[in-house]
Amino acid sequence: MHHDLNQLGLFEAAQAIRAGKISSTDLVQACLDRIAQREPELHAWAWLDPDAALAAARKADQQAVRGALHGIPLAVKDIIDTADMPTECGSPIYRGRRPSNDAACVAMARRNGAVVLGKTITTEFAYFAPGPTANPRNLAHTPGGSSSGSAAAVADTLVPAAFGTQTAASLIRPASFCGVVAYKATLGEFSLAGIKSFAASFDTLGVITRHVIDAQWMRWAMLGIQATEADTKPWEGAPRIGVCHTPWWQQADPDCQAVIEAAALQLARKGAKVSQATLPSHFSQLADTHKLIMAYEAAQSLSFEHDRFADKLSPQLLSLLEDGQQISRARYLAAQQLAATARHEFQAWKTDWDILLTPSAVGTAPRGLHATGDPLFSRMWTLLGVPSITLPGYTGQLGLPIGVQLIGDFREDDKLLAMARWVEAKLIHD
């Protein structure tokens, strides 16, 4: 079994370590072996110190179980600070930068016994300019971004779970492209202390895993929630699912559209109450509203980098920051007002459904590593601040993965994840 340990899901591995069936050292070694084999063509890692990781695993094996993630190797997106590893934010400006502290999410994972395996490649400051990471399902295609290395590493069983962040579509899109689960929390759900800020109105932490229960387990650990046996059970009874085409349905590829319809049909067959959920038509403005607020806030957040290191910024980021500087305060406030109103309207509108089923991305991962794909199908949900999750299981063009996205209610992350367990069981394992 030893050489397959890297394929265990996080929850399964955590239970096996706790029961003394496997050691953290063997698990970490299996991940390192897999990395040694795959990394030369995957390029998922910005920093990896195998000896340090093994030393941490050995230490975990010698200790009593510290928490829910005891001995579990995790990857950390490289815009998230780590006190013992460089954090370079995908930018030459911060080459070799050593933060003085762990981000709160890293500290909480370590409090629970996790072994930080290394740092995963991010696009430049989690915006569009990609790193070298390839899609493990087809190396000629992008893994998506900005949590590129996190999605690729989890998909290729280099590590059971990884932290990522999302300001537009940076968790959901790469997970959809690579064929894994990504859970983007409710806005404000997890502390962002020690994470490079891009646009404070939208920046959100999340996790990439291979199973929904792994994301639940990570969530509970990070919030200090003691999960009981009952919490790990999927939703009982059939959820009311709204199929939400969104105002951008015509921009979804045919294979993406077909997957949403197939999933809706399958879930209805399995007993879900499925109906069309048509958003108020003015919600079509929200993708542009998201863009405007993001540009305005990024121009503030990255003002130091802009003013001091413009020559080290990618053309696409420089252009965003300069566009952002031109946005008037009045336009920004009007956009924020529109977003606030939409959040209220959404809450009232959504009461007919427990969760929404909607595209995770325009289609499968585009060919080429020069760009990370279109964030269109997450902009509105990120703006609304609601929790979302993408589930794998379907494929489109060239056999590449296509995810389906589920949307929950603000602050109702636990309910969304429990329902996602139900959907996962019906779509994939049934």
Nearer to a second copy, 223 or 425 (CB): 223
Using the structure block, give the residue that is written with the tokens 């009232």.
348
Specify whether the CB–CB gap between 108 and 76 falls below 8 A: no
Least separation in angstroms between residue 221's CB and a second copy is 12
Nearer to a second copy, 139 or 223 (CB): 223
Least separation in angstroms between residue 83's CB and a second copy is 7
From the list 2-10, 186-194, 260-268, 277-285, the region that binds a second copy by CB under 8 A is: 186-194
Exactly one of 164, 194, 247, 393 binds a second copy (CB under 8 A); which one?
Answer: 194
Least separation in angstroms between residue 8's CB and a second copy is 27
Contacts made by residues 222-231, CB under 8 angstroms, sequence distance 24+ = 222/105, 222/108, 222/109, 222/112, 222/190, 223/108, 223/190, 224/108, 227/68, 231/414
From the list 135-143, 158-166, 302-310, 397-405, the region that binds a second copy by CB under 8 A is: 302-310
- Both tokens of 364, joined, read 């499968």
Q: Should residue 111 be labelled a site residue for a second copy when binding is judged by CB under 8 A?
A: yes
Least separation in angstroms between residue 11's CB and a second copy is 19
Nearer to a second copy, 278 or 325 (CB): 325
HSE of 41, CA atoms in CB hemisphere, 13 A: 11
> Which positions from 319 to 338 touch a second copy by CB under 8 A, shown as an x/- string?
------x---x---x--x--
Exactly one of 34, 70, 110, 210 binds a second copy (CB under 8 A); which one?
Answer: 110
Q: Could you tell me how many residues of this chain bind a second copy (CB under 8 A)?
A: 41
Residue 403: strand, helix, or coil: strand
Exactly one of 94, 283, 377, 422 binds a second copy (CB under 8 A); which one?
Answer: 94
Distances, alpha carbon 61 to alpha carbons 55, 82, 261, 329, 359, in Å = 10, 22, 47, 55, 42
Q: Should residue 106 be labelled a site residue for a second copy when binding is judged by CB under 8 A?
A: yes
C-alpha to C-alpha distance for 315 and 326, rounded to whole angstroms: 17
Exactly one of 124, 214, 297, 374 binds a second copy (CB under 8 A); which one?
Answer: 297
Specify whether the CB–CB gap between 162 and 187 falls below 8 A: no
Q: Should residue 61 be labelled a site residue for a second copy when binding is judged by CB under 8 A?
A: no
Nearest CA among 71, 154, 176, 77 for reference residue 121: 77
Least separation in angstroms between residue 259's CB and a second copy is 34
- Both tokens of 389, joined, read 């999750």
Nearest CA among 88, 128, 163, 89 for reference residue 294: 128
C-alpha to C-alpha distance for 98 and 212, rounded to whole angstroms: 33
Report CA torsion sign: 123, 128, 130, 135.
Answer: positive
> Which positions from 344 to 383 touch a second copy by CB under 8 A, shown as an x/- string?
----------------------------------------
Binding site for a second copy (CB under 8 A): 83, 94, 97, 100-104, 106-108, 110-111, 188, 190-194, 196-197, 200-201, 223-225, 297, 300-308, 325, 329, 333, 336, 411
